[in-house]
Amino acid sequence: MAKLHRAAEPDVLKPLLERARLTPDSRERVMDHALALLADLRAAQTRGWVNQFLQEYRLNSSEGVALLSLAEAFLRVPDPETADLLIADKIGDADWKAHSGKSNSVLVNSATWGLMLGRALVGDEKTGALRRLISRAGEPFVRQAVGAAMKRMGEVFVMGRTIDEAMKRMKKPENKGFTASFDMLGEAARTKADAERYFQAYFEAIRAVGRDPKAGHSISVKLSALHPRYEVAQYDRCVPELTDMLAQLASESAAQGIPLTVDAEESERLEMSLDIIGSVARRPELKGWNGFGMAVQAYGKRARAVIGWADDLGRPMHVRLVKGAYWDSEIKRTQVEGLSDYPLFTRKAATDVSYLACARDMLAAKNIVPAFASHNALTVATILDWAGDARDFEFQRLHGMGEGLYERLVNEQGYHCRIYAPVGGHRDLLAYLVRRLLENGANSSFVHQLADEQLSEAELLADPVEKIAAVGGTRHPSIPLPVELFGAWKNSGGIDLAERTILAETAAAIAAKPLPAATTSAPTDVRAAIDRASAAFPGWAATPLATRAAILERLADLLEENRIELMALAVKEAFKSIPDALGEVREAADFCRYYALQARTGLAPITLPGPTGERNELRMEGRGVWATIAPWNFPLAIFLGQTAAALVAGNAVVAKPAPQTPEIARAAVRLAHQAGVPEDALILVTGGPEAGAALTSDPRIAGVAFTGSTPTAKKIAASLLEGDDRPLVPLIAETGGINAMIVDSTALPEQVVADVLTSAFRSAGQRCSALRLLLLQEEIAEGVIEMLRGAMELLILGDPADPRTDIGPVIDQAAYDKLMAYRDSAKAQWIKTVPVPATGLFVPPTMIRIDRPEDLTREWFGPILHVATWKAGQLAETVARVNAKGFGLTMGLHSRIARSAELVEAEARVGNLYINRSMIGAVVGSQPFGGEGLSGTGPKAGGPHYLHRFCAERAVSVDTTSAGGNATLLSLDEGGI
């Protein structure tokens, strides 16, 4: 199954196409039935709230997007000031008046009226009777109107705020003949308390549904809601615990006589999910209960294999076949991690083919009770044709969608349809609501297409098998393989650490690699190294640019070929976790390939304009011998990034790694020489500050690239100015910062907490870009802090070679002592800290409360997070207070208000601004990295301007008149001489 996971799309689709194909006779029957279903759906467009909403507010229109964005955040905003900003941001520019009274739905018109009122106050209209009328009521009136519109939307997609309310609503006439699968909206838990709360909600829902077993309702559960560390790296911990919890829920469902279905998760969790589901399915106490089930996502390449797995369990299994819920995130993860291929299909029609093939297998299976979740008329008609007279299966649709498709089938023809019915408070479900709207409202989805009156019936009911066959099952052309993501240069390859066997093999291979005994160089070696590099410089500078670029590309290939050895050095010498060690090798390879491309395109001679009879040219050439001084926290990526840039520009390099990490640098230099860099053009010197001082003080050094602390950068800058006869040479410095993340009350707390943990504590906080100062809007501060407390309790500190480890030790005793002394001095302000192993240089991740941003005056390079608050309406002032610190490396913002993001973009004085994501992990070529002020000189590493700083620019002008002038003029037909 794992090999299928990354198989080429045409290879996976080939057997599916044959399984999903209709015969000519059946095609005619299916089309006739699909047309009838389509007519029912069309007729229902005047009934269903959501159908009419999609007709009125297309999700590819500015109003549709604005409404969606507003719904995602509005109900969770506690303070009126931010709510008003959100309203102004989302509805101020939209033309709501154009939609007023156009819909046949009272609910749609009611929502439109509220939005139109809001637009009248917050938009650009400064006059008019409507504005004058409602301006007397002021902003509270607008908030109430918009709030009412948002709650109306919430009511459509939520069956009830409680399970009792939901069950009562299922008895209404519009749900006649349907049963429900209640989902308690258990999204991914961030804390143990979250998981316990969701577990209790599921348990109580099972008992509530069990009080009326004749109603036929069921419960759906999400495993990620039951455990906050549902991750492959935590398999040994989470799988047994989840198995036990699911078994308890299944046992209670069996006792109550109701079905229980395990919902689908992202593909990286699939094999864990199967282990859990399989273990529970085989429990002897559940023998005889036929209500256990699972969901399968047809967009996954392994979907059909999972159907076979479920059938082979040897007991009845309810299987809910869905198209898929995490398409965007799956595509992005695969690209970001540089994996070989996607775990899912990249074309909508390919997913439809997979769905049909899986459906056919399910109908033929011995032990599967099928449930087909679809809003697609052609899919439903095809399944009905294949099923013949059978009724031993059911259809499913989302609550609020697909009205009209199943009513006739259920109430006149005896088929069974279950409604997937979310249950919970409107405030908590809006992120869920938005995901469902996007999933079902994408331009390619049937529900969205149905709302487009310009699409013909033939287009709506086009055969997906024919569509895929026409393109040979190939991948969508706009979705490149991860290796081709950047087009002009090759993306580095990753390792799928979400595959348990691959993770274990990687960890074992790393453990088997010994750490070489370190050797050191005395400061006197530096002078001899510069002698050798100076002698080698002319020959290396004369090497053709294309040859130097090709050597860097060979070096990138060698880095990937020797990936395990380099990862082992990063783990054992720099104490990096396995994922961080992988990232280290990938970034080093990315630097090499990117700078090779930049050299070819940006360092070639340029012919400049001038008068006739004159040739002007600008050349970029090496300056001489560069010193590159790298830090221990990125001992391969930064070490090689700086060095490769200097080399490809035509310079010789004397490279000094940090004294804590010489061996990984030694390995990198060995590979560079193997790739073709002359041994004297790249020379490694090791040692501490004395070696660095000897290197930078030598007048033969033509430039310095340094990454490290601000005080050290200042010392280097001063040393470069010593001596009246020393040339002025460039210094490229990337230093640290007091990096802040600003969070307003529109942000999603669960996302904030995940990004804070990553930004502040990953790599033990030992990244230049790491989060040091969290600034929370005071109205949401305590809630976010409480969630952070719970999430911090789940962090695992230990041996970085252990796949389970989140945080390893700090780099050395000096760093440990400094961090612990500071942490102890602030003990009265601790918000949260966590226990650490008894031995080793482990600094406990610690959250410290400070009164104001100004109280943090320096960078603490470790897992220590400071938290302060700011007041609503003071975003610009808060940014200014951060700017006033003088550092300018990274800043983060979490907000759903686009105008707030624009304000921070305009006002923040930082090299890298991250919005609604973590603050670490800059990608070469995508997110050039480097700061300003006290955080560095620039240019930004991994960016298009970096190589030029390593070059001397030389302009050459030649008068050609004495040698015949501009001969091309003689070819001009202007009458001759």
Return the structure tokens found at 190: 């961030």
What does the pLDDT read at residue 147? Answer: 79
The percent of residues above 70 in pLDDT, for the chain, comes to: 88
Q: Answer for the pair 652, 680: CB distance below 8 angstroms, yes or no.
A: yes
Which residue type, as a one-letter code, is found at position 453?
Answer: E
CB atoms within 10 A of CB 271: 20
Distances (CA, A) of 943 to 484, 486, 593, 645: 19, 13, 12, 11
Q: Answer for the pair 934, 912: CB distance below 8 angstroms, yes or no.
A: no
What does the pLDDT read at residue 134? Answer: 39
What does the pLDDT read at residue 54? Answer: 57
Which residue type, as a one-letter code, is found at position 619?
Answer: R
Secondary structure (DSSP) of 101-163? T-SS-HHHHHHHHHHHHHHHHHSS---SHHHHHHHTT-HHHHHHHHHHHHHHHHHHH-SBSSH
Question: pLDDT tier at 440 (50, 70, 90 boundaries)?
Answer: very low
Across 273-297, average pLDDT = 97
Cross-strand pairs, 293: 261, 318
> Of 391-400, 431-440, 445-454, 846-855, where does the model show the most confidence?
846-855
Secondary structure (DSSP) of 28-80? HHHHHHHHHHHHHHHHHTTT-HHHHHHHHS-TTSHHHHHHHHHHHHGGG--SH
- Give the residue with greater pLDDT, 76 vs 821: 821
Summarised one tens digit per residue, pLDDT across range 495-514 is 999 999 999 999 999 999 99
Calpha distance 94→927 (Å, rounded): 32
Q: What is the DSSP letter of 919?
A: S
**Of 641, 689, 694, 701, nearest in space to 665 by CA:** 641
What does the pLDDT read at residue 125? Answer: 45
Tell me the CA end-to-end span of the chain in Å, nearest whole number.
80
Question: pLDDT tier at 93 (50, 70, 90 boundaries)?
Answer: low
What does the pLDDT read at residue 371? Answer: 98
Question: pLDDT tier at 5 (50, 70, 90 boundaries)?
Answer: confident
Distances (CA, A) of 803 to 236, 498, 800, 962, 975: 11, 11, 7, 73, 81
Summarised one tens digit per residue, pLDDT across range 908-938 is 999 999 999 999 999 999 999 999 999 999 9
Return the structure tokens found at 705: 């690239």
**Of 190, 191, 187, 185, nearest in space to 205 by CA:** 185
Summarised one tens digit per residue, pLDDT across range 56-71 is 566 656 667 777 778 8
Average pLDDT score over the chain: 90
Question: pLDDT tier at 94 (50, 70, 90 boundaries)?
Answer: low
Lowest mean pLDDT among 145-159, 426-440, 519-533, 874-888: 426-440
In this predicted structure, the answer to whether residue 469 has a pLDDT above a threshold of 80 is: yes
What does the pLDDT read at residue 969? Answer: 58
Q: Which are the catalytic amino acids?
A: 734, 768
Summarised one tens digit per residue, pLDDT across range 604-629 is 999 999 999 899 999 999 999 999 99
Across 88-109, average pLDDT = 59
Residue 608 parent element (H or E): strand 606-608
Question: pLDDT tier at 441 (50, 70, 90 boundaries)?
Answer: very low
Calpha distance 665→687 (Å, rounded): 12
Across 783-805, average pLDDT = 98
Summarised one tens digit per residue, pLDDT across range 679-694 is 999 999 999 999 999 9
Q: What is the DSSP letter of 929?
A: B
- The dihedral built from the CA positions of residue 168, 170, 173 and 176, taken in this order, carries a sign that is negative
In this predicted structure, the answer to whether residue 968 has a pLDDT above a threshold of 90 is: no
Calpha distance 755→752 (Å, rounded): 5
Helices (H), 211-315: 235-256, 270-281, 303-311
Residue 397 parent element (H or E): strand 394-398
Contacts of 106 (CB under 8 A, 6+ apart): none
Q: Answer for the pair 574, 657: CB distance below 8 angstroms, yes or no.
A: no
Q: Answer for the pair 701, 627: CB distance below 8 angstroms, yes or no.
A: yes
What does the pLDDT read at residue 965? Answer: 62
- The dihedral built from the CA positions of residue 903, 905, 910 and 913, taken in this order, carries a sign that is positive
Angle ∠(198,199,201) on CA atoms, nearest 5 = 60
Across 784-804, average pLDDT = 98
Question: pLDDT tier at 869 (50, 70, 90 boundaries)?
Answer: very high
Which residue type, as a one-letter code, is found at position 560?
Answer: E
SS3 helix, strand, coil % of the chain, rounded to 5? Answer: 50, 15, 35
In this predicted structure, the answer to whether residue 133 has a pLDDT above a threshold of 50 is: no
What does the pLDDT read at residue 101? Answer: 53
Q: What is the DSSP letter of 659?
A: T
Contacts of 825 (CB under 8 A, 6+ apart): none
Which residue type, as a one-letter code, is found at position 431?
Answer: A
Across 776-797, average pLDDT = 98
Scanning the structure block, which residue is given the tokens 């399910």? Answer: 362
In this predicted structure, the answer to whether residue 976 has a pLDDT above a threshold of 60 is: no
**Long-range contacts, stretch 793-796, CB < 8 angstroms, 24+ apart:** 793/191, 793/192, 793/832, 793/834, 794/191, 794/192, 794/228, 794/229, 795/757, 795/761, 795/834, 795/845, 796/234
In this predicted structure, the answer to whether residue 49 has a pLDDT above a threshold of 70 is: no
Lowest mean pLDDT among 182-191, 268-277, 932-941: 182-191
Calpha distance 975→954 (Å, rounded): 40
| Phi, psi values for residue 421, rounded to 5° | -120, 105
Bridge-based pairing of strands 416-422 and 179-183 is parallel
In this predicted structure, the answer to whether residue 202 has a pLDDT above a threshold of 60 is: yes
Lowest mean pLDDT among 217-226, 325-334, 746-755, 871-880: 325-334
Return the structure tokens found at 390: 């059978």
Task: Please state whether the peptide bond connecting residue 605 to the residue before it is cis, i.e. omega within 30 degrees of 0.
Answer: no
Return the structure tokens found at 123: 């938009």
Helices (H), 477-626: 500-512, 524-542, 545-561, 563-574, 578-602
Across 354-383, average pLDDT = 97
What does the pLDDT read at residue 557? Answer: 98
In this predicted structure, the answer to whether residue 97 has a pLDDT above a threshold of 70 is: no
Across 745-770, average pLDDT = 96
Question: pLDDT tier at 137 (50, 70, 90 boundaries)?
Answer: very low
CA atoms within 13 A on the CB side of 209: 33
Summarised one tens digit per residue, pLDDT across range 211-220 is 998 999 999 9
Which residue type, as a one-letter code, is found at position 312?
Answer: D
Burial state string for 134-143 with b = 16 or more CB within 10 A and e = fewer than 16? beeeebeebb
In this predicted structure, the answer to whether residue 814 has a pLDDT above a threshold of 80 is: yes
Calpha distance 811→921 (Å, rounded): 19
Question: pLDDT tier at 117 (50, 70, 90 boundaries)?
Answer: very low
Residue 615 parent element (H or E): strand 614-622
Lowest mean pLDDT among 24-28, 277-281, 564-568: 24-28
Across 409-437, average pLDDT = 82
Bridge-based pairing of strands 740-743 and 773-777 is parallel
CA atoms within 13 A on the CB side of 406: 30
Question: pLDDT tier at 191 (50, 70, 90 boundaries)?
Answer: very high
Question: pLDDT tier at 442 (50, 70, 90 boundaries)?
Answer: very low
Summarised one tens digit per residue, pLDDT across range 308-347 is 999 999 999 999 999 988 888 899 999 999 999 999 999 9
What does the pLDDT read at residue 433? Answer: 64
Calpha distance 832→829 (Å, rounded): 9
What does the pLDDT read at residue 69? Answer: 79
Across 887-897, average pLDDT = 97
Angle ∠(301,305,308) on CA atoms, nearest 5 = 155
Q: Answer for the pair 489, 495: CB distance below 8 angstroms, yes or no.
A: no
In this predicted structure, the answer to whether residue 227 has a pLDDT above a threshold of 90 is: yes
What does the pLDDT read at residue 450? Answer: 64
Across 30-54, average pLDDT = 77
